[in-house]
């Protein structure tokens, strides 16, 4: 097992699990959103690190530097970041409305309010 | 000239119309405008349907960038069939939406509902049309984000929590799909679905491909509410404004079933999914468990919307069951049920909307004796219910018939037992309401129904369209059955190596 060769994937998996753990374990809705964000960031890193070519430069064709990293993943992730931001924004907006409606953003307290 | 650009117009039309709704502001105006757009979109999908039947697969290069460099919109028979279902449901549901929506959403937010509705339609249509794996993810997120907004727009405070739950689940699901697309890109170097399909044989039997498939199935499982990943669905359907639940039940989950079929056959390929990974058994077990679990929980519900939501979980099981048989007949049966379930569930939800419109409640126990005051409405519910159970002469019977036939052909006797048994469970949960409404003395809620209240004619019209469709497709099922068979045949000719 080439641990160092797969270094980027280890980072991705650890970040992903940290994010998922926060989403599942934390009762606070804002913290859940933070968890989702970390989770999504790990996927961004997965994509971007995938496009790296050793010794590659920015994708500008020139005689001096014939090797360049793949630009496509960067472009995809730019779109994915926008999607992620919209999700976070919408999530926070819903959390604000939840706070107005229930007076709390703690999962268990909302559940208690709902069952009353 | 315009004909050749119809594929992109189909998606762009609601996308451009959505912000215009915000500018219009006035609720009746934006309703008229949105409905007009939906009907235009429906007409476009009819024309596209004809074009596909006449000339076969249509490929549209977005912005003139040819695939595999640019994004390709690809229309085959399945695409055209799904466009027709989605646009039909959207147009007719929105036509009747105004009266019910005005009741359940505060008036200063109405135009925002129509904006979100059109954005959702954009996303859903885009998911169907696109031939690019990453573009698919973007459209899935457009559809999902707008549906979170639509769910949370209601006055009931429970819908906020339901929307948040759906947001968390949905984002994880979409992220899983994104991982899957990333891994596919890593092994094939392309995002175009046709290209991925052609290059996959080179990387067969790699762990990356297996990982991509598993991430994809789990991700789409969350989005399509396949048991046991359905936990967001009952809350989202029962607490959101009724029109939203109707629209979501008729379109969103169906679209994700479509994405599942699309990826199994024309991206990962039959060989990878069913032969190497034995996915069919996994899906089959989940489908059966979902059918039984959904029906069982539906029986225990008192709220009509919640009952229909759990029944949706069960009905999704039927579609999945058809797909999991991994045969031409099974795929056709699944597709027939996608069509039939859309008209059945929308008919049932629309009758519940009218019940809520008059009585302001959807609790079964409070609706005793409803049939005496609203006989026609209860008859509509009864026909929808019979169709859900699968009684002959209704649309539901046709899909169950083909599903049972497909299971027999494969020699799965157990599945036939599951289907018949779950039909019995469906009789129980539909009967629960029918009994209360027909054979009990009117209760105070029903007696209090105001006879002078304005009749929601358009809503009734939408309901009758779907009820008549249920009977029509039960008597003459040639249209949807022939189409589903033709799609399955094409898929097995094009994508499955014999």
Instruction: Please report whether residue A18 resides in a domain.
Output: yes
The count of structural domains within chain B is 1
Residues 6 or more apart whose CB falls under 8 angstroms from that of A3 comprise A10
- DSSP H or E stretch at residue B116: helix B110-129
A34: closest chain B residue by CA: B168
CA-based R_g, chain B, Å: 22
Q: Which residues contact B141 (CB under 8 A, 6 or more apart)?
A: A83, A86, A87, B123, B174
Give the separation between CA B244 and CA B114, rounded to whole angstroms: 11
Is cis: bond before B347, omega within 30 of 0?
Answer: no
Q: What is the pTM of this model?
A: 0.93
For residue B455, the 8-state DSSP code is P
Q: Report helix, strand and coil shares of chain A as percent, to nearest 5.
A: 70, 5, 25
Question: Could you give the CA distance from residue A4 to residue B243 in angstroms, rounded to a whole number?
Answer: 54
Question: What distances in angstroms separate CA B246 from CA B83, B250, B352, B413, one per listed residue?
Answer: 17, 6, 10, 34
Q: Give the pLDDT score at A3.
A: 67
In a domain, A20, yes or no: yes
Considering only CB atoms, which chain A residues are within 8 Å of B175? 39-40, 43
Question: Which of A43, A73, A98 lies at the smallest CB-CB distance from B164?
Answer: A98
Whether A13 maps to a domain, the answer reads yes
- The two three-digit tokens of residue A26, written as one number: 């934390």
* Residue A1 in this model has a pLDDT that exceeds 60: no
A2 found inside a domain: no
Question: Rounded to 5 degrees, what are φ and ψ at A68?
Answer: -140, 155
DSSP codes, A76-116: HHHHHHHHHHHHHHHHHHHHHHHHHHHS--BHHHHHHHHH-
Q: In whole angstroms, what is the distance from residue B140 CA to residue B120 CA?
A: 9
pLDDT of A85 reads 93
Single out the residue of A47, A32, A85 nearest to residue B134, CA to CA: A47
Q: Which whole-number Å values give the CA distances from B429 to A3, A42, B435, in the listed order? A: 56, 45, 10
Question: CB of B311 within 8 A of CB of B292?
Answer: no
Q: Is residue B101 part of a domain?
A: no
A50/B185 CB distance under 8 A: yes
- Nearest 5 degrees, angle CA B425-CA B431-CA B437? 160
The residue written with tokens 């809705």 in the block is: A29
Contacts of B174 in chain A (CB under 8 A): 83
DSSP at B60 = E
ipTM of model: 0.93
Report yes or no on A30 lying in a domain. yes
In a domain, A62, yes or no: no
CATH code of residue A89: 1.10.287.3510
H/E segment holding residue B58:
strand B58-61
Tens digit of each residue's pLDDT (9 = 90 or more) over A55-88: 777 777 777 777 888 888 888 999 999 999 999 9
The alpha carbon of residue A65 is apart from the nearest alpha carbon of chain B, in Å, by: 22
- What the block records as the tokens of B216 is 């994809």
Question: A14 in a domain, yes or no?
Answer: yes
Q: Return the pLDDT at B452.
A: 66
Task: Please give the tally of structural domains in chain A.
Answer: 1
Q: Which of A49, A39, A36, A42 is nearest to A7 (CA)?
A: A49
**Alpha-carbon distance B166 to B185, whole Å?**
28
Mutate to test the interface with B, among A19, A33, A49, A76 (most CBs of B within 10 A): A76
Among chain B, residues having any CB pair with chain A shorter than 8 Å are 134, 137-138, 141, 145, 148-149, 152, 157-158, 160-161, 163-164, 167-168, 171-172, 174-175, 178-179, 182, 185-186
CA distances from B227 to B165, B284, B321 (A): 16, 11, 12
Nearest to B157 among A43, A90, A102 (CB): A102
Cα–Cα distance for residue pair B80/B339, rounded to 1 Å: 13
CB-nearest to B178 from A80, A94, A102 is: A80
- The domain of A25 spans 9-49+68-115
CB-CB contact of B35 with B26 (8 Å):
no
pLDDT at B176 (0 to 100) = 94
Which position has the token pair 């639509």? B150
Res. A2 pLDDT band, cuts 50 70 90: low
Read off φ and ψ for residue B75, nearest 5 degrees.
-115, 115
B255, containing H or E segment: helix B252-263
**Structure tokens, B200:** 């996959």
Q: How far apart are CA B463 and CA B469, in angstroms?
A: 10
Q: Which of B141, B149, B168 sits opposite A23 (nearest CB)?
A: B168
Strands (E), B173-244: none
Domain of B332, in residue numbers: 131-495
Cβ contacts below 8 Å, chain A against chain B, sum to 67
> Does a structural domain hold residue B466?
yes
B342 found inside a domain: yes
Q: Is residue B257 part of a domain?
A: yes
Mean pLDDT of chain A: 87
pLDDT, one tens digit for every residue, chain B (498 residues)? 677 888 888 899 999 999 998 888 888 888 999 999 999 999 999 999 999 988 888 888 888 888 778 888 988 889 999 999 999 999 999 998 888 888 888 888 888 999 999 999 999 999 999 989 999 999 999 999 999 999 998 888 889 999 999 999 999 999 999 999 999 998 888 888 888 888 888 888 788 888 899 999 999 999 998 888 888 998 899 888 989 999 998 888 899 999 999 998 888 888 777 777 678 888 899 999 999 999 999 999 888 999 999 999 999 999 999 988 888 888 999 999 999 999 999 999 999 998 888 888 888 888 888 888 888 888 999 999 999 998 888 888 999 999 999 988 888 888 889 999 999 999 999 998 888 888 888 877 777 776 667 778 888 899 999 999 999 988 888 888 888 988 888 888 888 865
Q: Which residues pair with B61 in a beta bridge?
A: B72
Q: How many CA atoms lie within 13 A of B139 on its CB side?
A: 25
Q: Which of A72, A94, A114 sits opposite B164 (nearest CB)?
A: A94
- Chain B positions in Cβ-Cβ contact with residue A73 (cut-off 8 Å): 182, 185
């Amino acid at each position: 097992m080439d641990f160092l060769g797969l270094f980027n994937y280890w980072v991705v998996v650890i970040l992903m699990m940290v994010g998922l753990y926060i989403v599942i374990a934390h009762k606070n809705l804002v913290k859940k959103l933070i968890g989702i964000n970390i989770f999504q960031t790990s996927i961004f890193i997965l994509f971007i690190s995938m496009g790296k070519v050793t010794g590659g430069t920015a994708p500008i064709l020139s005689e001096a530097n014939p090797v360049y990293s793949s630009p496509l993943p960067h472009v995809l992730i730019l779109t994915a970041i926008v999607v992620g931001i919209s999700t976070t924004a919408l999530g926070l907006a819903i959390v604000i409305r939840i706070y107005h409606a229930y007076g709390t953003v703690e999962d268990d307290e909302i559940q208690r309010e709902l069952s009353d | 000239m315009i004909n050749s650009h119809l594929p992109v117009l189909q998606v762009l039309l609601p996308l451009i119309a959505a912000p215009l709704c915000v500018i219009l502001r006035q609720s009746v105006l934006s309703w008229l405008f949105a409905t007009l757009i939906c009907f235009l979109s429906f007409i476009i999908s009819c024309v596209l349907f004809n074009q596909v039947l006449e000339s076969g697969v249509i490929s549209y290069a977005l912005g003139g960038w040819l695939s595999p460099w640019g994004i390709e919109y690809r229309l085959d028979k399945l695409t055209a069939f799904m466009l027709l279902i989605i646009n039909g449901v959207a147009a007719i549901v929105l036509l009747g939406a105004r009266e019910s929506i005005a009741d359940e959403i505060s008036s200063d937010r109405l135009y925002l509902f129509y904006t979100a509705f059109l954005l959702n339609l954009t996303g859903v249509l885009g998911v169907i049309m696109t031939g690019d794996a990453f573009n698919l993810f973007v459209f899935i997120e457009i559809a999902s984000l707008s549906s979170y907004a639509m769910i949370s727009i209601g006055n009931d405070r429970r819908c906020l929590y339901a929307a948040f739950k759906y947001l968390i689940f949905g984002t994880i699901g979409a992220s899983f799909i994104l991982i899957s697309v990333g891994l596919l890109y890593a092994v094939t170097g392309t995002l175009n679905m046709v290209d991925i399909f052609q290059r996959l044989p080179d990387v067969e039997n790699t762990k990356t491909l297996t990982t991509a498939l598993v991430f994809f199935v789990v991700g789409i499982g969350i989005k399509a509410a396949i048991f046991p990943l359905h936990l967001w669905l009952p809350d989202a359907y029962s607490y959101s404004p009724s029109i939203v639940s109707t629209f979501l039940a008729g379109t969103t989950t169906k679209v994700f079933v479509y994405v599942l079929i699309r990826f199994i056959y024309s991206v990962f390929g039959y060989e990878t999914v069913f032969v190497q990974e034995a996915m069919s058994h996994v899906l089959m077990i989940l489908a059966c468990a979902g059918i039984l679990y959904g029906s069982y929980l539906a029986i225990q519900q008192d709220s009509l919307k919640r009952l229909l939501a759990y029944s949706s979980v069960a009905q999704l099981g039927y579609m999945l069951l058809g797909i999991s048989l991994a045969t031409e007949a099974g795929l056709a049966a699944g597709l027939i049920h996608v069509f039939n379930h859309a008209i059945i569930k929308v008919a049932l939800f629309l009758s519940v909307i009218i019940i809520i419109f008059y009585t302001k409640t959807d609790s079964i126990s409070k609706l005793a004796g409803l049939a005496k005051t609203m006989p026609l409405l209860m008859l509509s519910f009864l026909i929808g219910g019979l169709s859900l159970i699968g009684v002959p002469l209704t649309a539901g019977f046709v899909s169950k018939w083909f599903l049972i036939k497909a299971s027999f052909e494969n020699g799965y006797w157990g599945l036939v037992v599951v289907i018949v048994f779950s039909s019995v469970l469906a009789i129980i949960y539909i009967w629960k309401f029918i009994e209360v409404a027909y054979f009990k003395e009117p209760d105070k809620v029903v007696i209090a129904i105001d006879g002078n209240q304005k009749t929601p004619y358009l809503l009734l019209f939408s309901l009758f369209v779907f009820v008549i469709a249920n009977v029509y497709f039960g008597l003459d099922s040639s249209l949807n059955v022939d189409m589903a068979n033709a799609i399955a045949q094409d898929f097995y000719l094009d994508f499955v190596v014999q």
